[in-house]
Structure 1
Amino acid sequence: MRRTIIALLVVAMAGSLLAGCSKKEKVIKIGVNQLVRHDALDASYKGFVDALKEAGYIEGENIEIDYQIAQNDQATANTIATKLVNDGCDLILAIATPAAQAVANATKDIPILVTAVTDPAGSGLVESNEKPGGNVSGTSDLTPVRKQIELITKFLPDAKKVAVLYCSAESNSKIQVEMAKEAAKEFNLEMIEATVSNTNEIEQVVQSLVGKVDAIYAPTDNTIATGMPTVAMVANSNKLPVFCGEEGMVNNGGLATYGIDYYRLGWLTGEQAVKILRKEADTATMPIAYLPDDEYTLTVNEEVAKQLGIEIPEELLEQ
């Protein structure tokens, strides 16, 4: 009898252990394909991770994050995308338009969230920004381009000609360039295009603008953002002010911007990820999200203003 009882206890304990194992929470695999390292994209990734953590998804506990940087190279972005798909990720975050396009081309099944993408529909990532219709959704970093162009006229009321500096390979930049041209007409500014294909061309192109334009406008272009120290080195030494698409570029030598908070943008994307992981939402019906207009902030680099001999307008000091 005693042996029978012991045997039954052993079976019961084994069953209990097996039951516990079967209830063990699955570790969720999240892949990240970030185009390049610079302040804005890094901040968006941090915001994404922090939003997941706030919701109880913690790396090393119940999620595993494979964070990859494509070094601003499309072929590398494509390779990373293929790797993340083959590794069986449960969700993929793509940061910046070229990285998003690489991931979207690699899978039509795994949920993809994009961030730091100006116009997902215009970049061919979704059917429409209101109704994505597939496995891709996310957040847009569309900035107030008109307000940024207007800002030039507030600092430089006599400005006549402005160069828009961007990488010709980035579709998100081309969208902003068209918006900038429309805004320039409203403020009686002549807008000329100054393009590069990689960071190695930045110094020569900026140097070629000296004496030909009154200012440079650099939208949220990843190549220019990465090479912003070079832009600033040439432009500021020649008293050529640079107005930027986002705060990180200003901090790296630009003069001013009205921009968005990329950490907040990444957080918003993280909140979308939580809904998808909890099966509360689907990418096909989840609209592309934007930060509210009242979260645009003015950033002025006072050291650069002093170097350029430009006085910050009184009305801007009050903001």
Structure 2
Amino acid sequence: MHVRSATVVPIPILWAALAIVALTVGCDGPAAPPLRVTVYVPGQSRSAEALVDGIRDAIAQSRPVELTVEVAGELESTGLETGRSGRAVADARIGVGATIALTLSADASRTTFFTAVVDPVGSGLLPSLAEEVGAVIGVASLPPIRGLFELVAQISTVRVVGYLYDRRSPDATAIARLASMAAPAAGIELVAIPFDLVSLDQDATDHAAAGPLGELLARVDALLVDGPLYGGVWIDSVLDLLAESTVATITVDPVWGAAHGALIAYGTDPAAIGRATGTVIADSMRRDRGPYSRLQFPTGADDLVLLVNTASAERTGVEIPSALTDAADTVLGHEPGAADD
């Protein structure tokens, strides 16, 4: 009887073959195509860049992404679909801030994503916070206005805070409402003035001597700046004047605060808002259930950043208590120029 000899497969080759089989069996099919995302921002700023980077990084965790950025103010009324460059329609359109998101949501045939919106219900984006079905998905960013004023209240020389805001912006008007309640509770007087009532076309000398803006700066100890994500693009018009004055700035945008020498910045890192937004978009695109409404508030304690600038304090004659500098995540000892933004 003829006995066949067994073929012995070397162990390394056997393990390699098993690995290939495992990869083949576990594969879910071809890789997903890149998700085309267009982010519409109010203007160019470091805060917007940080937010966009966060969106890109979060989506890239689950699938490839092709992300473009459009400045909404530079788009023609017919350009929200393709932009001036004529790019193909994006899979996801993101409006930064309530004003841009409301414009995008006018097209009810497509899902609108929003981010950095202070009050989604008050702005008209969502009918209620409990809404579960709809064509609007996004991330609300409720600035810690109360916490900011409680921090400022620890500075004995800051008793009056001014706030120039764009009353055409739902986000800025929401911040004005929050500040009108938070400031008195912290023992601080708030002077809120719509910036369209302040002439910004005069030179800085005229402003410093007279006019609504000069009168405001002469009256207050600090100026609240909401930041470029919340309608504060106007602030670029008066940065030179603020740099020459002894009025300190406080803000809920830590990126803007670091770039422009704010005395105190306390708020959510724009990159964290972006990551939360990217996660919402990636999750919604994985669900085969049509458009739905999902709302997140990325304002956990881990996302809040406190920045204190001792150089700004010295320039404006403000003495910052050690308790504030000890509690700060970042303490800066210099004042970056406006050109850094």
Residue 254 of structure 1 is matched in structure 2 by 262
Q: Quick check: 2:268–2:305 contact (8 Å CA) kept in 1?
A: yes
Q: Which residue of 2 aligns with 1:91?
A: 92
Task: Say which one has the larger Rg.
Answer: 2
The residue number in structure 2 matching 1:69 is 71
* Paired position in structure 2 for 1:275: 283
Q: Which residue of 1 aligns with 2:114?
A: 114
Bigger fraction of residues in helix: 1
What is the CA distance between 1:53 and its match in structure 2?
Answer: 1.5
The equivalent of 2:271 in structure 1 is 263
C-alpha displacement of 1:315: 0.6
Moved more, 162-171 or 233-242: 233-242
1:163 aligns with 2:162: yes
Structure 2 residue 239 is the aligned partner of structure 1 residue 214: no
* SS of residue in 1 equivalent to 2:128: coil
Deviation track 1:34-60 (CA, whole Å, cap 9, x = no partner) reads 22112222211110011112223233x
Runs of 5+ consecutive residues of structure 1 not aligned to the other structure:
1-22, 60-64
Aligned partner of residue 154 in structure 2, secondary structure: helix
Query: Over aligned residues, Cα RMSD in angstroms?
Result: 3.0
Amino acid at match of 2:323: E
Q: Shift of the alpha carbon at 1:305?
A: 1.6
Q: Secondary structure at the match of 1:89?
A: coil
Q: CA distance change for structure 1 residues 232 and 309 in 2, over 3 Å: closer, same or farther? A: farther
Q: Distance in 1 between matches of 2:158 and 2:179?
A: 15
Superposed CA deviations along residues 4-39 of structure 1, whole A, max 9, x for unmatched, are: xxxxxxxxxxxxxxxxxxx78545432322221122
40, 51, 57: which one aligns with 1:44: 51
Q: 2:80 aligns to what SS in structure 1?
A: helix
CA–CA distance in 1 between the matches of 2:59 and 2:36?
A: 13
Distance apart, 1:276 and its partner CA: 1.4
- Equivalence for 2:101: 100
Task: Tell me, yes or no, if the aligned pair for 2:148 and 2:266 is still in contact at 8 Å.
Answer: yes
CA contact (8 A) 1:167 1:196 kept: yes
Once the two structures are superposed, residues 130-188 of structure 1 have per-residue CA deviations (whole angstroms, 9 ceiling, x without a partner) of 42531111111211101111222212x24443211212221101011111011122123
Letter in 2 for 1:214: D
Deviates more, 1:157-166 or 1:203-212: 203-212
Q: Which amino acid aligns with 1:179?
A: L
- In structure 2, the residue corresponding to 1:127 is in which secondary structure? coil
Task: Tell me if the contact between 1:126 and 1:132 (Cα under 8 Å) persists in the aligned partners.
Answer: no
Question: Does the CA contact (< 8 Å) of 1:162 and 1:214 recur in 2?
Answer: yes
Provide, for residues 214-251 of structure 1, a one-character-per-residue CA deviation record: whole Å limited to 9, x for no partner. 22122245586435455443234221111112112312
Asked if the contact 2:161/2:188 (under 8 Å) is kept, the reply is yes
TM-score (structure 2 length as normaliser) = 0.74
Give the structure-1-normalised TM-score. 0.79
- 2:226–2:253 contact (8 Å) kept in structure 1: yes
Deviations 1:68-93 (A, max 9, x none): 1124x6xx374432447995432211
Further displaced range: 240-249 or 126-135: 126-135
Instruction: Tell me whether 1:237 sits opposite 2:244 in the alignment.
Output: yes
Give distance in 2, aligned partners of 1:53 and 1:124: 31
CA separation in 1, counterparts of 2:159 and 2:127?
A: 39
Q: Quick one: distance in 1 between partners of 2:128 and 2:44?
A: 28
Identity %: 21
Gaps of 5+ in 2: 1-29, 328-341
Q: Is the 8 A contact 2:165 2:232 kept in 1?
A: no
2:34 and 2:64 in contact (8 A); partners too: no
Query: Are the counterparts in 2 of residues 177 and 219 from structure 1 also a CA contact under 8 Å?
Result: no
Distance 1:248 1:226, change over 3 A: farther
Q: Which amino acid aligns with 2:53?
A: K
Partner of 1:173: 172
Give the 3 Å change call, closer, same or farther, for CA 293–24 of structure 1 in structure 2. Answer: closer
Describe the SS at the equivalent of 1:67. Answer: strand
Q: How many residues align?
A: 288
Question: How far apart, in 2, do the equivalents of 1:122 and 1:175 lie?
Answer: 8
Q: Aligned with 1:298: secondary structure?
A: strand
